[in-house]
Amino acid sequence: IHIAASDVSSKSTRTKIIMVSFDACKAKMEAEGISKSAISAFESTFKSLVSGNTGCIPESTISPVSELISATSISSNPDTSLLKETVLLKLNGGLGTGMGLDKAKSLLTVKGDDTFLDLTAKQVMKMRETYGFNVKFMLMNSFSTSNDTMEHLASNFSELSKEEGLEMLQNKVPKLNVDTLEPATCAKDPENEWCPPGHGDLYAALIGSGRLDALLKGGYKYMFVSNSDNLGATLDLKILTHFAATDAPFMMECCERTENDKKGGHLAVRNADKQLILRESAMCADEDESAFQDVTKHKFFNTNNLWIRLDKLKEIVDKFGGFIPLPMIKNSKTVDPKDDSSQKVVQLETAMGAAIECFEGATAIVVPRTRFAPVKKCNDLLLLRSDAYVITDEYTTLLNPDCGGTAPVIDLDSKKYKLVGALELATKDGIPSLVQCKRLKIKGLVRMSKKTKFIGSVSVTNSSDESKMIPLGDVADATLDLTSNSGLGPLKADFIKSGPISGQKPGTSGLRKKTKEFMTEHYTNNFVQATFDALKTNGTDISVGTLVVGGDGRYFNDETIQTIIKMGVANGVKRFWIGQNGLLSTPAVSAVIRERGPEWQKAFGAFILTASHNPGGPEEDFGIKYNCENGGPAPENLTDAIYSNTTTITGYNICKSFPNIDITSAGSVTVKSDDDTADVTVEVISATENHVTLLKTIFDFGAIRSLLDREDFSMVYDCMHGVNGPYAKAVLVDELGQDESVCINADPKDDFNGCHADPNLTYAKELVALMGLNSKGEKIDVSGKSVPSFGAAADGDGDRNMILGSQFFVTPSDSLAIIAACADVIPFFRAQGGLKGVARSMPTSGAVDLVAKDLNFDLFETPTGWKFFGNLMDSKAIFNGKDYTPFICGEESFGTGSNHIREKDGIWAVLAWLSILASVNCDSSKPLVTVEDIVQKHWAKYGRNYYCRWDFEGVNKEKAQKMMQKMRDDTETNAGRTVGKYTIATADDFTYYDPVDGSVSSKQGIRFLMEDGSRVIFRLSGTAGSGATVRMYIEQYQPDKEKLEMQVSNALEDLVTVALELCSIKTYCGTETPTVIT
């Protein structure tokens, strides 16, 4: 039976009833794996609703609570031995959405750098240290707060985070369609179909998770529960001792109500049985509202600080068959909380304090207001962050004694400062002093500073639509009107309304799309704003340090730089480093972040404007990626946050009046606000200086110059009209004294001169021909022409490389192996005791594996993406793990590098090869040892990994995905299958378990591992601007020295045939002809 839909929101009227069943709710919850106790508890509240019960408690059925014992009157001595039987549990399920937060509210910074969670954890650790008991600590997280919370604890309180039984998850319950009371549906986002059941779920969660039985078995008898945002709610030993002495099963901490508390719930006595009960505002009928708000009648409110006897809780649970029947609280909402036009729903909740009526003999105690200090509004947050509160040695909050016993009254404009973001924008120059303030009222948009001290009663008004700065220094007993004051002028932020744009999900290399898509209205702005928002949420203070901006010079580069500067200023960035002419190669950006100083200006991150090796121009590709303070690409948690922000964005901040910056000349420009209270510095820096300076510390430039100066040695470096031209000239010409002719195509073009700046045998046509090869890497007739001894090529953003000898192609996999084997000829490695670790991406051949085994290096096989290498490089510095550096890593896609930066580095690889060549050509009187000689010698020692990659570019993405899924589905049946002369030993979808941070990366490529060690691998590339690229990798190891000179195509012919049969690419994508063979 249920209340007619037209009356479901009524608090006080009984209505007609119709039949309805709980079966649909039960089935939905069981399918979700929700515990029996939680289902039973929800069924109890559901039946209460459908029976016609409104959840109201009429005034006529209750009486006021006249008196309660006061905590200040407790005279018993604290019994520390009780701590070993006590559990401290914090309710941590709230997101703080009312304050504009989208993560656990407990992760909000409240004092210095400490969050609510930090201070609570420190309280627990201090209590353990002080009393010598391992006081049990627990968190009840929700499905919305669990990940953020546990990651924060693991990063900041590692030992605490590993404790058994630390986390207990709050359940979730279905929202109910207001018309049918069936579970509501939301096709747009199924997560919207669920809601938290209120903190009354504490009991069901304790039961369903098995925690209650485990605690009782462990000898725990008492539990203290409070909200995570209430720093006043500490485990008070005196109150615990009193609770134990009373032998009460349940005790509620209450405070005396004031006019400010009249809308909150209160304690009462039920007339029928004289039982203490809790009446919340949602339980009050409209006609009883005046009595409910009468603070002289109903004098006590629930602080949500509760003391519970766990053995008595178990008795009640058993009595009612596995749950506690709590009073129902009914809320009328919409299924999509962000869409008022979506389906109307009923959300059923319970309050944990309402359990007081379930415990016979339950009591309550009056506590000081200091034990009830939740942060519900920005008023509370500003006060707590100010000097009006101090942190004690026990990590508790205490009203500053200089306040004279009374906290200042803060009244911020509720319309302007409802959300935390608005308060943080107003206080980005620091929190003003409030210790001598009695009352502060602010109306309108203002900016405050740590250099301002409020004294006495102060009222500030600003009626303009621009925030104005409150004067610095003492502001005593004043009424200020800032409306006509000067404002920020060119630094004034404008908010431009927009909305989500689909498809802005960044991959491992950032966001890449067609240039024209980036040029559409709001597209670039939305993504940049989503990135700034994600940085702030992840704890990056963008107002400190420097933001680096630069790119590979492709079309739309310069306009985007100006946009990022203006949006950066609007979001709080105060200093920028911009590459001269808008240019910064990807490795150079990493070098600038890591190397450029002084320390107080160190970069916190960078926007890199590149689509790497993809074509450029108005009809081609553009890209934006973000690199973090370690110089490496944004980790997955940050890119996920960026994408999430793009799906909910409502607009972006930009300083429309900020002037365009001349980025053609190095120099610094400072732009000041009209009121002279703020300034922003934009410095245009040399694109090459920091990177080249770093490279000079790594390599022996003298030895390399001696090689280059040999009469029998020549080289050519094809920059492919990408960003690397200036770097090649700076190194080879300016530092190593070579003629400019060694650098070809060295002038950056915004369309790469109409070419595809991808350093491989197919696209580096000019270089390949000069080196006497064809697009398959085979020797061609050069008709007696002189062929350079050494050739190299770079891609659009300078992070990739191709290495060639005279009529000889070095595969990227062999290049990686040879550099690793010869690393000691490079000072960077030799001076640090030699190479320690090497890593390759999974599709890269196993050539480097053989070197690692021979030389006893740590070896890692990772997914494609430089961020995985970065984790290994930072294992010790960031994660306190093993030190794998010095470190070399590489990918078959022409990317090689080391731990000198956190990106692959094309010119580093060129200098590494020149160093190797220099080391074997010290005597200029002897014949030149060539690139081919070095590779042949390596094969003779380690054997040869015959290897090739076929790229099928621009195929239909949906069809390619179906092809990949078919192979994924068939992995079990393919294992053991014989195809041609090969037998498949293992077929799988590669999963990587990161040894540094414990993360798991699945679906990283379909692998067919043959019994003879051969491999066939398939991946869908994530770096194309449009369509999809299927990459097919073929590898066969050959140890026989008599078979090291075969043509790659001949050596792999049979395996290629097998690969094409395994993937059926002709069936799915309509072709077996690759675009590129490497």
Q: What is the tens place of the pLDDT at every residue in 469-527?
A: 999 999 999 999 999 999 999 999 999 999 999 999 998 789 999 999 999 999 999 99
For residue range 167-199, list pLDDT tens digits in order. 999 999 999 999 999 999 998 889 899 988 988
120-149 mean pLDDT? 92
678-685 mean pLDDT? 97
Q: Which two tokens stand for residue 968?
A: 């994924």
How far out from the chain centre does Cα 274 lie? 52
Q: For residue 265, what pLDDT band results from cuts at 50, 70 and 90?
A: confident
Least confident range of 128-132, 292-296, 398-402, 537-541: 537-541
Q: What is the C-alpha separation between 792 and 1047, in angstroms, rounded? A: 22
Q: Which residues pair with 809 in a beta bridge?
A: 804
Q: For residue 82, what pLDDT band results from cuts at 50, 70 and 90?
A: very high
pLDDT at 458 over 50: yes
pLDDT at 5 over 50: no
| Residue 1026: per-residue pLDDT | 59
Q: What is the DSSP letter of 752?
A: G
For residue range 555-602, list pLDDT tens digits in order. 999 999 999 999 999 999 999 999 999 999 999 999 999 999 999 999
pLDDT at 286 over 70: yes
Cβ atoms < 10 Å from Cβ of 630: 19
Per the listing, tokens 């101090």 go with 390
808-826 mean pLDDT? 97
Residues 6+ apart with CB under 8 A from 119: 110, 111, 231, 391, 395, 396, 397
Closest to 529 (Cα-Cα) out of 650, 682, 660: 650
Residue 701 in contact with residue 738, Cβ under 8 Å? no
For residue range 428-456, list pLDDT tens digits in order. 899 999 999 999 999 999 999 999 999 99
Per the listing, tokens 């039982």 go with 275
Closest to 109 (Cα-Cα) out of 388, 380, 381: 381
For residue range 93-107, list pLDDT tens digits in order. 888 777 877 788 999
Average pLDDT, the chain: 93
Note if 161 is an active site residue.
no
Q: Which two tokens stand for residue 524?
A: 């670039």
862-869 mean pLDDT? 91
Closest to 116 (Cα-Cα) out of 83, 86, 94, 143: 94
Q: What is the C-alpha separation between 748 and 752, in angstroms, rounded? A: 7
1050-1067 mean pLDDT? 95
704-721 mean pLDDT? 98
Q: What is the DSSP letter of 51?
A: T
735-752 mean pLDDT? 97
For the chain, how far is it from start to end, CA to CA, in angstroms?
Answer: 70
Q: Which two tokens stand for residue 290?
A: 């005046």
Q: For residue 1, what pLDDT band results from cuts at 50, 70 and 90?
A: very low
750-779 mean pLDDT? 95
Q: What is the C-alpha separation between 876 and 109, in angstroms, rounded? A: 27
Q: SS3 for 208?
A: helix
For residue range 148-159, list pLDDT tens digits in order. 999 999 989 999
| Active-site residue, from 35, 209, 449, 612 | 612
Cβ atoms < 10 Å from Cβ of 883: 14
| Residue 52: per-residue pLDDT | 79
Closest to 715 (Cα-Cα) out of 747, 696, 739, 691: 739
| Residue 815: per-residue pLDDT | 98
Q: For residue 1022, what pLDDT band results from cuts at 50, 70 and 90?
A: low
| Residue 10: per-residue pLDDT | 43
Q: What is the C-alpha separation between 239 and 76, in angstroms, rounded? A: 9
Closest to 133 (Cα-Cα) out of 227, 240, 207, 209: 240
Q: What is the C-alpha separation between 873 and 581, in angstroms, rounded? A: 32
For residue range 982-1008, list pLDDT tens digits in order. 999 999 999 999 999 888 889 999 999
pLDDT at 966 over 80: yes
Q: What is the largest CA-CA distance in the chain?
A: 111
1063-1067 mean pLDDT? 95
pLDDT at 415 over 80: yes
| Residue 19: per-residue pLDDT | 60
For residue range 878-892, list pLDDT tens digits in order. 888 899 999 999 999
For residue range 666-675, list pLDDT tens digits in order. 999 999 999 9
| Residue 637: per-residue pLDDT | 86
Q: What is the C-alpha separation between 824 and 146, in angstroms, rounded? A: 47
SS3 content of the chain, % helix, strand, coil (to 5): 35, 25, 40
